[in-house]
A and B are shown apart, each in its own frame.
Chain A
Amino acid sequence: MIRIENLTKEFGAKRAVDSLSFTVERGEVVGFLGPNGAGKSTTMRMITGFIPPTSGRVLVGDHDVVQDPIAAKRLIGYLPENAASYPDMTVLGFLNFAAALRGLTGDAKKKAVHRAVEMCSLDRVLYQSIDTLSKGYRHRTCLAQSLVHDPAVLVLDEPTDGLDPNQKHEVRKLIRELGRTKAVVFSTHILEEVDAACSRAIIIDRGRIVANGNPEELRALAPNAGAVTLQLGAADAEQAEQRLAGIPGVARVERSGERITVYPSEKRASGELARAVAELAGREGWALAALRTEEGHLDEVFRSITLPDTHGSQAKPSGGAA
């Protein structure tokens, strides 16, 4: 549904988005991650046709966003950053306005607004003016606006920003449900949302994609993914460190007190590694207190690939290597 080809945006001399290419199909929920200022919002603004790209193009459906903006925008529901809405309007007035601009009239409009109101549980505040609403409600009002025409493509810029944990949970649930039939892109810098809602995540840094895959694939990029951690009695630990290093396929062994981490030389062999460690422990008669294979944490992945000089994926020699 969304097809992005070599999308580039320059603000003066600064390149905010640097030849980005990816696609999002129906039934996918793609989390768009990256540190602040990585170009997430800029990319979303280009997808939704708010700002034109410097070069490259965006296709929504089969419509080029620059060549045929109206047809492309019809397919998109958009929640802008900070969920802006008209403060002097009532929730119902605002949703009616959005529905009318989406070309809905009469009964179809009424039904569409009603559906959006239900999805976002806004029925209690329908006749309140938006500036009297709490932040959570204001956010949902803007979200309802993006859903009112049942769009094929949803672009949500930080949909859970500023919500309390319950509301976050609700919104993620909604995104997951919507993602079954729509192409959804949402940006966030909360990593747990990748597991909670995404079928795929794209991590960008300084306008470039540094990782693109499903949550498991991303986790595998963590430095400790596939490593085996075991906990032993104090008496065994020191001796075990050397014995473990002797297992074939082990790259290195780290010990801190009673905890030992065994890193495989090849990540794929992780299940075997755990078995090999367990066998060894059995043979040696160690008092094994805990044994587990590390899955890798997304925040470690995030840190290791979005910071300069820690991973090979950073090639840009810019000055900010603090």
Chain B
Amino acid sequence: MSAGNSPTWIIARRELGSYFSSPVAYVFLVIFLLLTGFFSFAQGGFFDRGEASLVAFFAWHPWLFLLLVPAIGMRLWAEERRAGTLELLLTMPVTTWQAIIGKFLASWIFLAVALLLTFPAVITVNLLGSPDNGVIATGYLGSLLLAGAYLAVTCLTSAMTRNQVVSFILAIVILMFLILAGFGPVTELVSRWAGPTVVNAVAAFSVMTHFDGFQRGVIDLRDLLYFLSVIGFALFANGLVIRNLRAG
């Protein structure tokens, strides 16, 4: 399979093209960059930390992505269903999986571009001090995986409805659970009536728990597996939803 002409890439290219052919993509990029800047410098106390790191920058990503990733992914399937192009796409000689992966990849690439555009933050810390650029690199990897996991969940919710707003809200609700299961205040609450095993089990489902390692410069195989399996599971469920849709 030559990569450039495989149906997966053709679909991914079309999706990417449709992001950049509308102003929405640029608006999104600007908002994302403004918000990351605002949160890490104003809210995150970037300067008060007195250390050359991007901890303040990455710490906000799980919350920022909570709104921004569903906004990027909500139209992927919902719009195809609303416009009736789903029928067109799936009667082309492509498999459902090729379409699912193609769409997912396009949006993931778009999010990667958004992340890449935060490079001035890296330059800034490097000018101000001498940060551990290895930690920054794993931080970016963690962020990209986090965005991928959120995106896969959004793909799933997008396939469940023909209304983009519904898919947006559904995605946020599901992602909230994934965040909160490992969020400090929530784990404390759980620990009041459950043993540490339960607390750990619940927290293990959370993106927070697995995101933290990357921010400390550690690439733990379990964290990697966690994100990849969230992506895999959500996209698999996405496939089931599409199959169900077609079976009537």
A→B interface (CB under 8 Å): 9, 11, 45, 48-52, 69-71, 73-74, 76, 78, 80-82, 84-89, 93, 97-98, 100-103, 105, 142, 145
Q: Which residues of A contact B196 (CB under 8 A)?
A: none
The binding surface of chain B is classed by DSSP as helix
**B16–chain A nearest beta-carbon distance, Å:** 12
Chain A residue at minimal CB-CB distance from B94 = A101
Q: How many A-B pairs fall under 8 Å by CB? A: 72
Q: Which residues of A contact B88 (CB under 8 A)?
A: 78, 80, 84-85, 142, 145
| B87 and A84 within 8 A (CB) | yes
Contact (A80, B246) CB under 8 Å given A86-B18, A101-B93, A102-B92: no
| A87 and B83 within 8 A (CB) | yes
List the 9 shortest-distance A-B pairs measured between CB atoms, nearest first.
Answer: A84-B84, A73-B93, A48-B91, A101-B92, A80-B87, A100-B10, A74-B93, A84-B85, A70-B93
Q: Which residues of B contact A71 (CB under 8 A)?
A: 93
Q: Which residues of B contact A73 (CB under 8 A)?
A: 91-93
Q: Mark B50-69, 1 if CB is under 8 A from A, else 0.
A: 00000000000000000000
Interchain CB contact (< 8 A) of A88 among B10, B21, B95, B247? B21
28 contacts between A and B (CB under 8 A): A48-B91, A50-B87, A51-B246, A51-B247, A52-B246, A52-B247, A69-B93, A70-B93, A70-B94, A70-B95, A76-B91, A78-B88, A80-B84, A80-B88, A84-B85, A85-B85, A85-B88, A86-B14, A86-B18, A87-B83, A88-B21, A88-B22, A89-B18, A89-B21, A97-B14, A101-B93, A101-B94, A142-B88
**Separation of A200 and B138 alpha carbons in the complex (Å):** 66
The binding surface of chain A is classed by DSSP as mixed
A sample of 4 more A-B contacts (CB under 8 A), given A78-B91, A86-B83, A86-B85, is A69-B93, A85-B88, A88-B18, A101-B94
**B159–chain A nearest beta-carbon distance, Å:** 15
**Separation of A49 and B88 alpha carbons in the complex (Å):** 11
Contact (A45, B93) CB under 8 Å given A50-B246, A97-B14: no
